[in-house]
Amino acid sequence: MKNYCRSTAMLLIVLIEVIASISGVVRANAAQSTDGGIQWLSYAEGRQRGEAENKKVFLVFNADWCRYCLQMEKETFQNPTVIAYVNRNFVPISVNSDKQQDIAAKYKVRGLPSTYFISETGEPIANRPGYIAPDEMLKILKFFGTDSYLSMSFKAFVEKEK
């Protein structure tokens, strides 16, 4: 009887350790998409990675002095749903237009913040200037992330998603 209890206790301990290990992996995978925020890359690294991984690029132009850029960083880019969607479906690039004026000029950035979507082949798809709230950003991300832009307008996409 004593050996039976000891064996049962050992089995229970091993089972608890296995469950704890599995739940830790699940938590780590879930946290990976939102912990640390959006995994921003430099322009060169992001463009290279986008083509290598055959993923669309999410490109944001900003500046340290830009009030709406800071607001987007604080609100939109801290939203867990936006973070997870961007990290999972795009290669995110952040460009400070004051420090990288050549890249901003290449995209003809006229106001900040400016958000661009680039295809897997490196071709610009579309851009949206100005502040974008988290809920609106998620709709835009899904519109491009699901390739819906190829077959319908943004307005039709939003109506369909309701």
Q: Residue 132: what pLDDT?
A: 98
Convert the pLDDT of each residue in 88-107 to its tens digit.
999 999 999 999 999 999 99
pLDDT of 2 > 70? The answer is no
pLDDT bucket at 162, cuts 50 / 70 / 90: confident
Q: Residue 93: what pLDDT?
A: 98
Q: Residue 4: what pLDDT?
A: 47
Convert the pLDDT of each residue in 142-161 to its tens digit.
999 999 999 999 999 999 98
Q: Residue 34: what pLDDT?
A: 58
Cα 144 to Cα 69, 91, 156, 157, distances in angstroms: 21, 13, 13, 10
92 phi/psi in degrees, rounded to 5? -85, 130
pLDDT of 18 > 70? The answer is no
Closest by CA to 90, choosing from 135, 35, 33, 136, is: 33
pLDDT bucket at 36, cuts 50 / 70 / 90: confident
Convert the pLDDT of each residue in 48-91 to its tens digit.
999 999 999 999 999 999 999 999 999 999 999 999 999 999 99
More confident residue, 23 or 41: 41
Q: 3-state class of 123 per DSSP?
A: coil
* Rounded CA separation 37/110 (Å): 27
